Structure 1
Amino acid sequence: MTLPLDQQTVLVTGAGRGLGAAIATAFAREGAQVILNYRNSRTQAKTLASKLGPRAQAIQADITDADQIRTMIDTAKDTFGPITTVVHNALADYSFNGDARDTLYTLSPKALLAQHDTAVIGALNVIQAAAPAMEQAGFGRIITIGTNLVQNPVVPYHDYTSAKAALLALTRTAAAELGPKGITVNMVSGGLLRTTDASAATPDAVFDLIAGSTPLRSVTTPDEAADAVLFFASPWARAVTGQNLIVDGGLVFG
């Protein structure tokens, strides 16, 4: 079974700003109903939902709290019906600043676990809350957001990268379990994006260096990464699951 994008009801976690906002905008552009989840970015999320129109709704929930996620999904269902598609984009507060990063000698277990709580436990909470309706419908699309740092840790952001590596593992094991139910689970892994709040501290010289190292001679934008997410949700990807698509202008191959 497949559904065109304009018949899907899409939950985007962490949709108040940055890549999440671009993903929500891309789905709305294609006619989908969109739920913009946010934790703290209330003003940004509400403003974007208003801009996207009556088929969009912003709902607050802490992705690490399973009860809040279930409540959010029930609220969305009352307005739009069951969720067909989940994009797990939420990111714990982070700044990609290589000079200020934690090293192996300064990294605390608390900081490491904070990234895993949002990336991995958050994904588990959303899947557990949304997948039963997908199974009942015989259709579901789950897309997680990873990073090319797992393949090429050019800057050793230990906490962030380890969480995304664990999320990739969960993406693949979830694909194995949910596939027979008509649910695909895939990951889109970007590189450093130009520009989000998380990458705002990155010097221009680093962006220029990355651009010069890619075959496309450019740094990927949030809008470009968002379009790759649409692929996994679309009928064109109906036979694809358990995959990790790296979207970084060709900086990392494979």
Structure 2
Amino acid sequence: MQISEQIVLVTGGARGLGLAISQALIAEGAQVVVNYFSSQTAAQQLALDFPQQVFAYQADVTDKSQVEQLFTAAKAHFGASITSVVNNALIDFQFNGDARPKIAELTAQTLQQQFNGAVVAALNTTQAALEDMQNVHFGRIVNIGTNLVQNPVVPYHDYTAAKAALLAFTRTAAHELGEYGINVNMLSGGLLQSTDASKATPDAVFDLIAASTPLRTVTTPDEFAAAIMIFLSPYSRAVTGQNLIVDGGLVKG
């Protein structure tokens, strides 16, 4: 199925990386379900700008019932079910190495919050999408990870542990759902310049990252979003259970 034929849910799709993903999908001609939690103004503006392509809907993706309502509303709006899901939403996190919780200060609650935002949210959207994807024998699920799992240069314990768990879930889900024509993959970025989550990062850190990459640049949200189109396109129909690192070549595999 071409991207232009798909109905794609982007969680957290109205700001930061999510907005870049939504915009890339709009440019490809897809119909986009822009999920938001607090970015109502931005989400509704997208829907006003692209009324034929965008449906904006507020839902807490960690809440199973709200996610189910989101899928029902999207199906009613477009007259067809969601074909693809990009699990992008990030729960209350800032990339600030000085302010991160150290091991001695880390709490189970903090870990659980990030786990809910990464793994439980992906479980909720996958379960909500499953029946319709099985019925048409087609589905694309793309989970957003981090290269910190492979290279924890800054020990963001809660965030990285949750994304590592999401990587495991990506691979186990790919194994189980492949027989139904559902591909599940992950794209993992480094620090992006810039998003709401990375705005607290000092310029010196961005300069160091740029100097360390083969491309001598920091990946932008638009560049990362463009790579997501690979996993949504027909060219990746035989690709599942994979983790593609998109960071300008900083981290290898």
Task: Name the TM-score, length of structure 1 as normaliser.
Answer: 0.98
> Is 1:9–1:34's contact at 8 Å kept on the other side of the alignment?
yes
- Counterpart in the other structure of 1:41: 39
CA deviation vs aligned residue, 1:29-66 (integer Å, no higher than 9, x gap): 00000000011111111112322332101100000110
Q: What is the root-mean-square deviation in Å for CA atoms of aligned residues?
A: 0.7
1:18-37 to structure 2, matched below 5 A, reads 18-37=16-35
- Counterpart in the other structure of 1:192: 191
- Counterpart in the other structure of 2:139: 140
- Supply the distance in 2 between the matched residues of 1:7 and 1:103 (Cα, whole angstroms): 46
Q: Amino acid of the residue matched to residue 11 of structure 1?
A: L
- Counterpart in the other structure of 1:230: 229
- Counterpart in the other structure of 1:251: 250
Q: Which runs of 5+ in 1 are unaligned?
A: none
- Supply the distance in 1 between the matched residues of 2:73 and 2:47 (Cα, whole angstroms): 15
- Supply the distance in 1 between the matched residues of 2:24 and 2:187 (Cα, whole angstroms): 15
- Supply the distance in 2 between the matched residues of 1:178 and 1:120 (Cα, whole angstroms): 17
- Counterpart in the other structure of 1:130: 129
CA deviation vs aligned residue, 1:168-212 (integer Å, no higher than 9, x gap): 000000000000000000000000000000000000000000000
- Supply the distance in 2 between the matched residues of 1:157 and 1:220 (Cα, whole angstroms): 20
> Is 1:21–1:48's contact at 8 Å kept on the other side of the alignment?
no
- Counterpart in the other structure of 2:7: 9
- Supply the distance in 2 between the matched residues of 1:70 and 1:242 (Cα, whole angstroms): 25
- Supply the distance in 2 between the matched residues of 1:122 and 1:59 (Cα, whole angstroms): 16
CA deviation vs aligned residue, 1:128-176 (integer Å, no higher than 9, x gap): 0011101100100000000000000000000000000000000000000
The 4+ residue runs of structure 1 with deviation greater than 6 A are none
- Counterpart in the other structure of 1:157: 156
- Supply the distance in 1 between the matched residues of 2:77 and 2:19 (Cα, whole angstroms): 20
SS of the aligned residue for 2:159 comes to helix
> Is 1:28–1:34's contact at 8 Å kept on the other side of the alignment?
yes
SS of the aligned residue for 2:148 comes to helix
- Supply the distance in 2 between the matched residues of 1:47 and 1:104 (Cα, whole angstroms): 41
SS of the aligned residue for 1:92 comes to coil
Q: Amino acid of the residue matched to residue 163 of structure 2?
A: K
Q: Amino acid of the residue matched to residue 81 of structure 2?
A: P
CA deviation vs aligned residue, 1:192-249 (integer Å, no higher than 9, x gap): 0000000000000000000000000000000011011111000010100000000000
- Supply the distance in 2 between the matched residues of 1:86 and 1:118 (Cα, whole angstroms): 15
- Supply the distance in 2 between the matched residues of 1:51 and 1:99 (Cα, whole angstroms): 39
Aligned: 1:207 with 2:218:
no
